Structure 1
Amino acid sequence: MAFHPMVEEYLNMPPVTRAYTTGCILTTLAVQLDLVSPFQLYFNPNLIVSQWQVWRLVTTFLFFGPVGFTFLFNLIFTYRYCRYLEDGSFRGRTGDFVIMFVFGAVCMVLCALVVNMLFLGQAFTIMLVYVWSRRNPFIRMNFFGLMNFQAPYLPWVLLGFSLLLGNSVSVDLMGIAVGHAYFFLEDVFPNQPGGFRLLKVPHGIVRLFDPAAGDPAYAPPPEERPGGFDWGAQRPQPAGDNQ
Protein backbone atom coordinates (compact mmCIF):
# COMPACT_ATOMS: atom_id res chain seq x y z
CA MET A 1 0.00 0.00 0.00
CA ALA A 2 1.37 3.42 -0.99
CA PHE A 3 1.36 6.13 1.66
CA HIS A 4 1.67 9.86 1.40
CA PRO A 5 5.37 10.80 1.85
CA MET A 6 4.62 12.58 5.14
CA VAL A 7 2.69 9.58 6.47
CA GLU A 8 5.46 7.25 5.36
CA GLU A 9 8.07 9.45 7.04
CA TYR A 10 6.00 9.43 10.24
CA LEU A 11 5.67 5.65 10.20
CA ASN A 12 9.42 5.28 9.64
CA MET A 13 10.28 7.35 12.71
CA PRO A 14 11.86 5.33 15.56
CA PRO A 15 9.32 4.63 18.33
CA VAL A 16 10.49 6.96 21.11
CA THR A 17 10.95 9.90 18.75
CA ARG A 18 7.53 9.26 17.21
CA ALA A 19 5.82 9.02 20.60
CA TYR A 20 7.44 12.18 22.00
CA THR A 21 6.96 14.42 18.96
CA THR A 22 3.37 13.17 18.56
CA GLY A 23 2.70 14.04 22.20
CA CYS A 24 4.11 17.56 21.68
CA ILE A 25 2.00 18.16 18.56
CA LEU A 26 -1.23 16.79 20.03
CA THR A 27 -0.80 18.80 23.22
CA THR A 28 -0.27 22.01 21.26
CA LEU A 29 -3.28 21.29 19.01
CA ALA A 30 -5.43 20.65 22.08
CA VAL A 31 -4.47 24.07 23.45
CA GLN A 32 -5.00 25.77 20.08
CA LEU A 33 -8.49 24.25 19.82
CA ASP A 34 -9.29 25.31 23.41
CA LEU A 35 -9.77 21.70 24.48
CA VAL A 36 -7.36 22.27 27.35
CA SER A 37 -5.74 25.30 28.91
CA PRO A 38 -2.01 25.81 29.49
CA PHE A 39 -2.99 26.30 33.14
CA GLN A 40 -3.89 22.60 33.21
CA LEU A 41 -0.49 21.58 31.81
CA TYR A 42 2.25 23.50 33.61
CA PHE A 43 4.41 22.06 36.37
CA ASN A 44 2.81 22.79 39.73
CA PRO A 45 4.11 20.62 42.58
CA ASN A 46 1.36 21.79 44.96
CA LEU A 47 -1.42 20.62 42.64
CA ILE A 48 0.45 17.41 41.85
CA VAL A 49 0.64 16.53 45.54
CA SER A 50 -2.59 17.97 46.92
CA GLN A 51 -4.94 17.15 44.02
CA TRP A 52 -3.08 14.26 42.44
CA GLN A 53 -2.74 16.05 39.09
CA VAL A 54 0.15 13.78 38.19
CA TRP A 55 -0.28 14.37 34.44
CA ARG A 56 1.53 17.67 34.94
CA LEU A 57 4.76 15.69 35.35
CA VAL A 58 4.36 14.73 31.67
CA THR A 59 2.57 17.68 30.08
CA THR A 60 5.21 20.13 31.30
CA PHE A 61 7.53 18.49 28.75
CA LEU A 62 4.99 18.48 25.90
CA PHE A 63 3.97 22.13 25.56
CA PHE A 64 6.31 24.61 23.85
CA GLY A 65 3.79 27.43 23.71
CA PRO A 66 1.17 28.44 21.11
CA VAL A 67 1.81 27.74 17.44
CA GLY A 68 4.41 30.18 16.23
CA PHE A 69 8.14 30.56 15.71
CA THR A 70 9.13 29.29 19.17
CA PHE A 71 6.94 26.22 18.86
CA LEU A 72 8.22 25.33 15.37
CA PHE A 73 11.84 26.01 16.36
CA ASN A 74 11.63 23.70 19.38
CA LEU A 75 9.63 21.03 17.56
CA ILE A 76 12.14 20.86 14.69
CA PHE A 77 15.07 20.57 17.07
CA THR A 78 13.26 18.02 19.23
CA TYR A 79 12.43 15.82 16.26
CA ARG A 80 15.83 16.16 14.59
CA TYR A 81 18.11 15.47 17.54
CA CYS A 82 15.84 12.96 19.23
CA ARG A 83 15.85 10.98 16.00
CA TYR A 84 19.59 11.44 15.46
CA LEU A 85 20.21 9.93 18.88
CA GLU A 86 17.70 7.10 18.56
CA ASP A 87 18.90 6.16 15.06
CA GLY A 88 22.54 6.73 15.98
CA SER A 89 24.22 6.04 19.29
CA PHE A 90 21.05 4.46 20.75
CA ARG A 91 20.28 2.26 17.76
CA GLY A 92 19.31 -1.19 19.01
CA ARG A 93 19.28 0.19 22.59
CA THR A 94 15.78 1.64 22.94
CA GLY A 95 15.77 0.73 26.63
CA ASP A 96 18.86 2.90 27.21
CA PHE A 97 17.17 5.74 25.34
CA VAL A 98 14.09 5.47 27.56
CA ILE A 99 16.36 5.55 30.62
CA MET A 100 17.94 8.76 29.30
CA PHE A 101 14.44 10.26 28.97
CA VAL A 102 13.57 9.24 32.52
CA PHE A 103 16.89 10.49 33.90
CA GLY A 104 16.52 13.85 32.15
CA ALA A 105 12.90 14.28 33.20
CA VAL A 106 13.58 13.46 36.86
CA CYS A 107 16.57 15.82 37.02
CA MET A 108 14.61 18.66 35.45
CA VAL A 109 11.62 18.19 37.72
CA LEU A 110 13.94 18.35 40.73
CA CYS A 111 15.57 21.50 39.34
CA ALA A 112 12.15 23.04 38.65
CA LEU A 113 11.32 22.67 42.34
CA VAL A 114 14.17 25.06 43.07
CA VAL A 115 14.10 27.51 40.14
CA ASN A 116 10.30 27.57 39.72
CA MET A 117 10.00 26.74 36.01
CA LEU A 118 6.57 26.03 34.57
CA PHE A 119 7.34 24.28 31.27
CA LEU A 120 10.37 22.08 30.73
CA GLY A 121 10.07 21.03 27.08
CA GLN A 122 12.65 23.51 25.79
CA ALA A 123 15.17 22.43 28.43
CA PHE A 124 14.57 18.80 27.44
CA THR A 125 15.27 19.67 23.80
CA ILE A 126 18.55 21.34 24.75
CA MET A 127 19.49 18.21 26.70
CA LEU A 128 18.97 16.08 23.57
CA VAL A 129 21.04 18.53 21.51
CA TYR A 130 23.81 18.54 24.12
CA VAL A 131 24.12 14.74 24.29
CA TRP A 132 24.14 14.45 20.50
CA SER A 133 26.71 17.23 20.15
CA ARG A 134 29.10 15.65 22.66
CA ARG A 135 28.85 12.28 20.91
CA ASN A 136 29.59 13.89 17.53
CA PRO A 137 32.41 16.28 18.41
CA PHE A 138 33.99 16.55 14.96
CA ILE A 139 30.91 17.45 12.92
CA ARG A 140 31.06 20.99 11.56
CA MET A 141 27.92 23.11 11.88
CA ASN A 142 26.79 26.24 10.07
CA PHE A 143 24.24 28.43 11.81
CA PHE A 144 22.10 30.51 9.41
CA GLY A 145 25.19 30.96 7.26
CA LEU A 146 26.62 33.33 9.89
CA MET A 147 29.11 31.17 11.73
CA ASN A 148 30.87 27.81 11.53
CA PHE A 149 31.67 25.78 14.61
CA GLN A 150 32.16 22.27 15.92
CA ALA A 151 29.06 20.36 17.07
CA PRO A 152 29.85 20.61 20.85
CA TYR A 153 29.34 24.38 20.62
CA LEU A 154 25.78 24.03 19.26
CA PRO A 155 24.01 24.16 22.67
CA TRP A 156 25.91 27.34 23.52
CA VAL A 157 25.06 28.89 20.16
CA LEU A 158 21.40 28.14 20.83
CA LEU A 159 21.73 29.70 24.27
CA GLY A 160 23.13 32.86 22.66
CA PHE A 161 20.30 32.82 20.14
CA SER A 162 17.75 32.63 22.98
CA LEU A 163 19.47 35.57 24.64
CA LEU A 164 19.24 37.60 21.42
CA LEU A 165 15.52 36.84 21.24
CA GLY A 166 15.10 38.17 24.77
CA ASN A 167 14.32 34.80 26.31
CA SER A 168 15.54 33.63 29.70
CA VAL A 169 18.71 31.56 29.41
CA SER A 170 17.95 29.63 32.60
CA VAL A 171 15.96 27.06 30.60
CA ASP A 172 18.87 26.47 28.22
CA LEU A 173 21.33 26.28 31.10
CA MET A 174 19.19 23.64 32.79
CA GLY A 175 19.14 21.56 29.60
CA ILE A 176 22.91 21.88 29.22
CA ALA A 177 23.51 20.95 32.87
CA VAL A 178 21.28 17.86 32.75
CA GLY A 179 22.71 16.84 29.38
CA HIS A 180 26.24 17.14 30.73
CA ALA A 181 25.31 15.12 33.81
CA TYR A 182 24.01 12.31 31.61
CA PHE A 183 27.02 12.47 29.29
CA PHE A 184 29.40 12.31 32.24
CA LEU A 185 27.64 9.40 33.92
CA GLU A 186 27.20 7.40 30.71
CA ASP A 187 30.23 8.28 28.55
CA VAL A 188 32.96 9.64 30.82
CA PHE A 189 32.82 8.08 34.29
CA PRO A 190 32.51 4.43 33.15
CA ASN A 191 35.75 4.85 31.16
CA GLN A 192 37.74 6.18 34.10
CA PRO A 193 39.91 3.88 36.27
CA GLY A 194 37.52 2.20 38.66
CA GLY A 195 34.52 3.65 36.83
CA PHE A 196 31.28 1.81 36.15
CA ARG A 197 27.87 2.46 34.64
CA LEU A 198 25.42 4.00 37.07
CA LEU A 199 22.50 4.17 34.65
CA LYS A 200 22.03 0.48 33.99
CA VAL A 201 18.83 -0.49 32.23
CA PRO A 202 16.60 -2.80 34.30
CA HIS A 203 16.19 -6.20 32.69
CA GLY A 204 12.44 -5.74 32.44
CA ILE A 205 12.87 -2.61 30.32
CA VAL A 206 15.39 -4.39 28.11
CA ARG A 207 12.93 -7.21 27.49
CA LEU A 208 10.10 -4.73 26.85
CA PHE A 209 11.88 -2.44 24.37
CA ASP A 210 14.76 -4.58 23.05
CA PRO A 211 13.70 -8.23 23.18
CA ALA A 212 16.43 -9.20 20.68
CA ALA A 213 19.09 -7.87 23.07
CA GLY A 214 18.36 -10.80 25.39
CA ASP A 215 19.64 -13.20 22.74
CA PRO A 216 23.30 -14.11 23.45
CA ALA A 217 23.97 -14.06 19.70
CA TYR A 218 22.59 -10.53 19.35
CA ALA A 219 24.98 -7.80 18.29
CA PRO A 220 23.70 -4.23 17.91
CA PRO A 221 24.08 -2.70 14.44
CA PRO A 222 27.09 -0.43 13.86
CA GLU A 223 26.57 3.09 15.09
CA GLU A 224 25.91 5.85 12.61
CA ARG A 225 26.46 9.44 13.51
CA PRO A 226 24.24 11.57 11.25
CA GLY A 227 24.84 15.26 11.49
CA GLY A 228 24.30 18.54 9.76
CA PHE A 229 22.05 21.48 10.32
CA ASP A 230 19.38 22.30 7.74
CA TRP A 231 19.71 26.03 8.18
CA GLY A 232 23.29 25.79 7.02
CA ALA A 233 25.82 23.42 5.59
CA GLN A 234 27.70 20.58 7.20
CA ARG A 235 31.35 20.97 6.35
CA PRO A 236 33.58 17.93 5.89
CA GLN A 237 36.59 17.62 8.15
CA PRO A 238 40.12 17.90 6.74
CA ALA A 239 41.63 14.55 5.84
CA GLY A 240 43.94 14.61 8.86
CA ASP A 241 41.10 14.74 11.41
CA ASN A 242 39.90 11.49 12.89
CA GLN A 243 37.00 11.05 15.23
Structure 2
Amino acid sequence: MSEFRDWYNSVPFFTRHWLTYTIVLSLLGKFGIISYYYLLLDFERFAYNFQIWRPATALFFYPITPGTGLHFLINCYFLYNYSQRLETSIFAGKPADYFYMLLFNWVCCVIIGFVVELRFLMDAMVLSVLYVWCQLNKDVIVSFWFGTRFKAMYLPWVLLAFNLIISGSVMMELLGILIGHLAFFLLFKYPQEFGGPALLTPPAFLKQIFPDTRYMGGFGSAPQERAPTRPAGNVFGGHNWGRGQTLGGN
Protein backbone atom coordinates (compact mmCIF):
# COMPACT_ATOMS: atom_id res chain seq x y z
CA MET A 1 0.00 0.00 0.00
CA SER A 2 2.83 2.38 0.79
CA GLU A 3 4.34 1.73 -2.65
CA PHE A 4 1.06 2.57 -4.32
CA ARG A 5 0.75 5.73 -2.23
CA ASP A 6 4.27 6.78 -3.16
CA TRP A 7 3.56 6.18 -6.84
CA TYR A 8 0.24 8.02 -6.66
CA ASN A 9 1.78 11.03 -4.95
CA SER A 10 4.54 11.11 -7.56
CA VAL A 11 2.06 11.59 -10.42
CA PRO A 12 1.92 15.27 -11.46
CA PHE A 13 -0.95 17.28 -9.96
CA PHE A 14 -3.31 17.71 -12.91
CA THR A 15 -2.65 14.28 -14.37
CA ARG A 16 -3.26 12.70 -10.96
CA HIS A 17 -6.58 14.45 -10.44
CA TRP A 18 -7.78 13.91 -14.00
CA LEU A 19 -7.01 10.19 -13.80
CA THR A 20 -8.51 9.86 -10.31
CA TYR A 21 -11.79 11.57 -11.18
CA THR A 22 -12.06 9.49 -14.34
CA ILE A 23 -11.60 6.16 -12.57
CA VAL A 24 -13.79 7.01 -9.58
CA LEU A 25 -16.70 8.46 -11.56
CA SER A 26 -16.60 5.66 -14.13
CA LEU A 27 -16.66 3.01 -11.40
CA LEU A 28 -19.52 4.78 -9.62
CA GLY A 29 -21.48 4.63 -12.85
CA LYS A 30 -20.41 1.06 -13.53
CA PHE A 31 -21.80 -0.21 -10.22
CA GLY A 32 -24.94 1.88 -10.41
CA ILE A 33 -24.10 4.09 -7.44
CA ILE A 34 -24.74 7.06 -9.73
CA SER A 35 -26.95 6.67 -12.77
CA TYR A 36 -24.99 7.30 -15.95
CA TYR A 37 -28.03 9.17 -17.25
CA TYR A 38 -27.06 12.11 -15.03
CA LEU A 39 -23.43 12.07 -16.18
CA LEU A 40 -23.60 12.25 -19.96
CA LEU A 41 -23.52 15.42 -22.06
CA ASP A 42 -27.03 16.66 -22.85
CA PHE A 43 -27.58 20.19 -24.14
CA GLU A 44 -31.26 20.41 -23.27
CA ARG A 45 -30.70 19.23 -19.70
CA PHE A 46 -27.70 21.56 -19.39
CA ALA A 47 -29.36 24.65 -20.86
CA TYR A 48 -32.97 24.31 -19.78
CA ASN A 49 -32.79 22.21 -16.61
CA PHE A 50 -29.65 23.97 -15.32
CA GLN A 51 -27.78 20.68 -14.87
CA ILE A 52 -24.50 22.54 -15.18
CA TRP A 53 -22.35 19.63 -14.00
CA ARG A 54 -22.84 17.65 -17.21
CA PRO A 55 -19.87 19.07 -19.21
CA ALA A 56 -17.54 18.04 -16.36
CA THR A 57 -19.06 14.62 -15.71
CA ALA A 58 -19.10 13.89 -19.45
CA LEU A 59 -15.34 14.41 -19.40
CA PHE A 60 -14.59 12.21 -16.40
CA PHE A 61 -17.21 9.50 -16.86
CA TYR A 62 -16.79 6.66 -19.35
CA PRO A 63 -19.31 3.81 -19.60
CA ILE A 64 -17.51 0.61 -18.60
CA THR A 65 -19.08 -2.50 -20.12
CA PRO A 66 -17.69 -5.89 -21.23
CA GLY A 67 -17.29 -4.37 -24.67
CA THR A 68 -15.65 -1.09 -23.59
CA GLY A 69 -13.56 -2.15 -20.59
CA LEU A 70 -10.34 -2.67 -22.54
CA HIS A 71 -10.81 0.59 -24.39
CA PHE A 72 -11.29 2.38 -21.06
CA LEU A 73 -8.03 0.94 -19.73
CA ILE A 74 -6.19 2.01 -22.89
CA ASN A 75 -7.59 5.52 -22.52
CA CYS A 76 -6.47 5.63 -18.89
CA TYR A 77 -2.99 4.53 -19.91
CA PHE A 78 -2.74 7.19 -22.62
CA LEU A 79 -4.12 9.79 -20.21
CA TYR A 80 -1.55 8.93 -17.55
CA ASN A 81 1.36 8.52 -19.92
CA TYR A 82 1.03 11.53 -22.22
CA SER A 83 -0.56 14.01 -19.83
CA GLN A 84 2.23 13.27 -17.37
CA ARG A 85 4.86 13.76 -20.06
CA LEU A 86 3.51 17.15 -21.03
CA GLU A 87 3.07 18.27 -17.44
CA THR A 88 6.64 17.34 -16.47
CA SER A 89 8.41 18.55 -19.63
CA ILE A 90 7.29 21.49 -21.73
CA PHE A 91 4.91 22.67 -18.97
CA ALA A 92 7.20 21.87 -16.05
CA GLY A 93 7.08 24.66 -13.49
CA LYS A 94 4.13 26.24 -15.35
CA PRO A 95 1.02 24.61 -13.85
CA ALA A 96 -1.30 27.45 -14.84
CA ASP A 97 -0.20 27.14 -18.47
CA TYR A 98 -0.90 23.42 -18.53
CA PHE A 99 -4.24 23.83 -16.79
CA TYR A 100 -5.22 26.54 -19.27
CA MET A 101 -4.42 24.26 -22.19
CA LEU A 102 -6.50 21.47 -20.63
CA LEU A 103 -9.29 23.95 -20.03
CA PHE A 104 -9.16 25.12 -23.64
CA ASN A 105 -9.25 21.55 -24.96
CA TRP A 106 -12.14 20.69 -22.66
CA VAL A 107 -14.19 23.73 -23.71
CA CYS A 108 -13.63 22.82 -27.35
CA CYS A 109 -14.74 19.24 -26.62
CA VAL A 110 -17.89 20.50 -24.89
CA ILE A 111 -18.83 22.94 -27.67
CA ILE A 112 -18.32 20.36 -30.40
CA GLY A 113 -20.03 17.76 -28.24
CA PHE A 114 -23.13 19.92 -28.01
CA VAL A 115 -23.11 20.51 -31.77
CA VAL A 116 -22.69 16.88 -32.87
CA GLU A 117 -24.49 15.40 -29.85
CA LEU A 118 -21.62 13.55 -28.23
CA ARG A 119 -22.40 11.98 -24.88
CA PHE A 120 -18.91 11.30 -23.51
CA LEU A 121 -15.72 13.32 -24.00
CA MET A 122 -12.93 11.13 -22.67
CA ASP A 123 -11.77 9.82 -26.05
CA ALA A 124 -11.51 13.22 -27.69
CA MET A 125 -9.92 14.90 -24.68
CA VAL A 126 -7.25 12.23 -24.18
CA LEU A 127 -6.36 12.16 -27.86
CA SER A 128 -6.11 15.96 -27.97
CA VAL A 129 -3.45 15.86 -25.24
CA LEU A 130 -1.67 12.94 -26.89
CA TYR A 131 -1.65 14.87 -30.17
CA VAL A 132 0.05 17.89 -28.59
CA TRP A 133 2.79 15.67 -27.15
CA CYS A 134 3.26 13.93 -30.49
CA GLN A 135 3.65 17.27 -32.30
CA LEU A 136 6.24 18.40 -29.76
CA ASN A 137 8.12 15.11 -30.17
CA LYS A 138 7.59 14.33 -33.84
CA ASP A 139 10.74 12.31 -34.32
CA VAL A 140 10.50 10.27 -31.14
CA ILE A 141 10.19 6.60 -32.04
CA VAL A 142 7.12 4.96 -30.51
CA SER A 143 6.16 1.31 -30.48
CA PHE A 144 2.70 -0.06 -30.97
CA TRP A 145 1.20 -3.51 -31.20
CA PHE A 146 3.22 -6.44 -32.52
CA GLY A 147 6.45 -4.49 -32.32
CA THR A 148 5.56 -1.92 -34.99
CA ARG A 149 7.65 1.22 -34.61
CA PHE A 150 7.17 4.64 -36.16
CA LYS A 151 7.61 8.33 -35.42
CA ALA A 152 5.35 9.90 -32.81
CA MET A 153 3.87 12.29 -35.37
CA TYR A 154 2.00 9.32 -36.87
CA LEU A 155 0.66 7.91 -33.60
CA PRO A 156 -2.69 9.78 -33.58
CA TRP A 157 -3.39 8.58 -37.11
CA VAL A 158 -2.42 5.02 -36.25
CA LEU A 159 -4.88 5.14 -33.36
CA LEU A 160 -7.53 6.50 -35.71
CA ALA A 161 -6.96 3.65 -38.17
CA PHE A 162 -6.89 1.12 -35.32
CA ASN A 163 -10.25 2.28 -33.98
CA LEU A 164 -11.69 2.36 -37.48
CA ILE A 165 -10.84 -1.33 -37.84
CA ILE A 166 -12.01 -2.29 -34.35
CA SER A 167 -15.16 -0.20 -33.94
CA GLY A 168 -15.87 1.21 -37.39
CA SER A 169 -16.05 4.76 -36.05
CA VAL A 170 -13.43 7.50 -35.97
CA MET A 171 -15.50 10.52 -34.90
CA MET A 172 -13.87 10.78 -31.46
CA GLU A 173 -10.37 10.40 -32.89
CA LEU A 174 -10.95 13.05 -35.55
CA LEU A 175 -12.29 15.48 -32.97
CA GLY A 176 -9.34 14.82 -30.65
CA ILE A 177 -6.86 15.41 -33.48
CA LEU A 178 -8.66 18.59 -34.54
CA ILE A 179 -8.73 20.03 -31.00
CA GLY A 180 -5.15 18.98 -30.29
CA HIS A 181 -3.99 20.58 -33.53
CA LEU A 182 -5.78 23.82 -32.67
CA ALA A 183 -4.22 23.90 -29.19
CA PHE A 184 -0.76 23.18 -30.59
CA PHE A 185 -1.15 25.85 -33.27
CA LEU A 186 -2.23 28.52 -30.79
CA LEU A 187 0.41 27.57 -28.21
CA PHE A 188 3.43 27.16 -30.45
CA LYS A 189 3.02 27.52 -34.22
CA TYR A 190 1.15 30.83 -34.31
CA PRO A 191 3.39 32.83 -31.92
CA GLN A 192 6.67 31.26 -33.05
CA GLU A 193 6.32 30.82 -36.81
CA PHE A 194 3.75 33.49 -37.67
CA GLY A 195 4.76 36.10 -35.10
CA GLY A 196 1.30 36.30 -33.58
CA PRO A 197 0.41 36.86 -29.92
CA ALA A 198 0.35 33.99 -27.44
CA LEU A 199 -3.40 33.42 -27.45
CA LEU A 200 -3.39 30.67 -24.83
CA THR A 201 -1.55 32.60 -22.14
CA PRO A 202 -3.36 31.98 -18.84
CA PRO A 203 -4.98 34.96 -17.12
CA ALA A 204 -3.39 36.50 -14.03
CA PHE A 205 -5.85 34.95 -11.58
CA LEU A 206 -4.88 31.45 -12.73
CA LYS A 207 -1.22 32.34 -12.20
CA GLN A 208 -2.14 33.33 -8.65
CA ILE A 209 -4.01 30.08 -8.03
CA PHE A 210 -1.31 27.95 -9.68
CA PRO A 211 1.90 30.02 -9.41
CA ASP A 212 4.99 29.12 -11.39
CA THR A 213 7.34 26.94 -9.37
CA ARG A 214 10.51 27.60 -11.31
CA TYR A 215 11.69 29.15 -14.56
CA MET A 216 12.02 26.81 -17.55
CA GLY A 217 14.02 28.51 -20.26
CA GLY A 218 12.73 26.25 -23.00
CA PHE A 219 9.05 26.74 -22.29
CA GLY A 220 6.99 27.45 -25.35
CA SER A 221 9.57 26.14 -27.79
CA ALA A 222 9.07 22.86 -29.54
CA PRO A 223 11.98 20.51 -28.74
CA GLN A 224 14.68 19.90 -31.27
CA GLU A 225 15.06 16.58 -32.99
CA ARG A 226 16.81 14.04 -30.86
CA ALA A 227 18.40 10.77 -31.73
CA PRO A 228 16.42 7.63 -30.79
CA THR A 229 17.78 5.19 -28.27
CA ARG A 230 16.99 1.55 -27.59
CA PRO A 231 13.35 0.78 -26.79
CA ALA A 232 12.36 0.68 -23.15
CA GLY A 233 10.53 -2.16 -21.48
CA ASN A 234 7.12 -3.24 -22.77
CA VAL A 235 3.85 -2.62 -21.03
CA PHE A 236 0.37 -4.09 -21.26
CA GLY A 237 1.12 -7.70 -22.03
CA GLY A 238 4.29 -7.25 -24.02
CA HIS A 239 3.24 -4.30 -26.18
CA ASN A 240 4.23 -0.68 -25.79
CA TRP A 241 0.88 0.80 -26.84
CA GLY A 242 2.38 3.98 -28.23
CA ARG A 243 5.06 4.51 -25.63
CA GLY A 244 7.89 6.66 -27.00
CA GLN A 245 11.55 6.02 -26.47
CA THR A 246 14.24 8.62 -27.21
CA LEU A 247 17.12 10.20 -25.47
CA GLY A 248 15.77 12.60 -22.90
CA GLY A 249 12.20 11.27 -23.30
CA ASN A 250 9.55 12.91 -21.14
TM-score exceeds 0.5: yes
Cα distance per residue 1:126-170 (max 9 Å; x no partner) = 001100000111110111134221001111111111111114201
> What value does the CA root-mean-square deviation take over the aligned residues?
2.3
Structure 1: which 5+ runs fail to align? 213-217, 238-243
Q: 2:129 maps to which residue?
A: 128
**Alignment correspondent of 2:154:** 153
1:17 to 15, 26, 40: 15
Note closer, same or farther for the CA distance 1:222–1:43 as it changes in structure 2 (3 Å cut).
same
Unaligned runs of 5+ in 2: 224-230
Match of 1:175 in 2: 176
CA contact (8 A) 2:191 2:197 kept: yes
Q: Distance in 2 between matches of 1:140 and 1:40?
A: 41
Partner of 2:114: 113
User: Is contact 1:91-1:221 (8 Å) kept?
Assistant: no
* Residue type at the aligned position of 1:74: N
Secondary structure at 1:101 match in 2: helix
CA distance in 1, matches of 2:73, 2:168: 16
- Which position in structure 1 is the counterpart of 2:24? 26
Q: What is residue 201 of structure 1 aligned with on the other side?
A: 202
| TM-score normalised to structure 1 length | 0.87
Instruction: List per-residue Cα deviations over 1:82-136 (Å, max 9, x = no partner).
Output: 1111111111011011111111011111111221111011100100110000011
Residues in 2 aligned to 1:121 and 1:17: alpha-carbon distance in whole angstroms: 14
The residue identity in structure 1 corresponding to 2:96 is: G
- Asked whether the 8 Å contact 2:124–2:172 carries over to 1, the reply is yes
Q: Deviations 1:25-55 (Å, cap 9, x if unpaired)? A: 1101211221112111110011011111111
What is the TM-score when the length of structure 2 is the normalising length? 0.85
Counting only pairs closer than 5 Å after superposition, residues 1-243 of structure 1 correspond to structure 2 as: 4-66=2-64, 68-212=69-213, 219-220=215-216, 230=235, 231-232=239-240
Closer, same or farther: CA 40–209 of 1 in aligned 2, 3 Å = same
- Alpha-carbon distance, 1:221 to partner: 7.2
Q: CA deviation at 1:222?
A: 6.5
Q: Distance in 1 between matches of 2:118 and 2:33?
A: 23
Contact persistence 2:142–2:150 (CA under 8 A): yes
In the comparison of the two structures, how many residue pairs are matched? 229
> Contact conserved, 2:29 with 2:36, CA < 8 A, in 1?
yes
CA–CA distance in 2 between the matches of 1:208 and 1:154?
34
Q: Distance between the aligned counterparts of 2:246 and 2:84, measured in 1?
A: 22
Aligned residue type for 1:123: A
Amino-acid identity (%): 30
Q: 1:91 to 1:167 in 2, by over 3 A?
A: farther
Closer, same or farther: CA 221–123 of 1 in aligned 2, 3 Å: same
**Cα pair 1:92 1:221 within 8 Å, conserved:** no
- Cα distance in 2 for residues equivalent to 1:44 and 1:101: 21
Kindly provide the CA deviation profile for residues 48-84 of structure 1, in whole angstroms up to 9, marking residues without a partner as x.
1111111101011112221621111111111111111
Residues 193 and 32 of structure 1, relative CA distance in 2, 3 Å threshold: closer
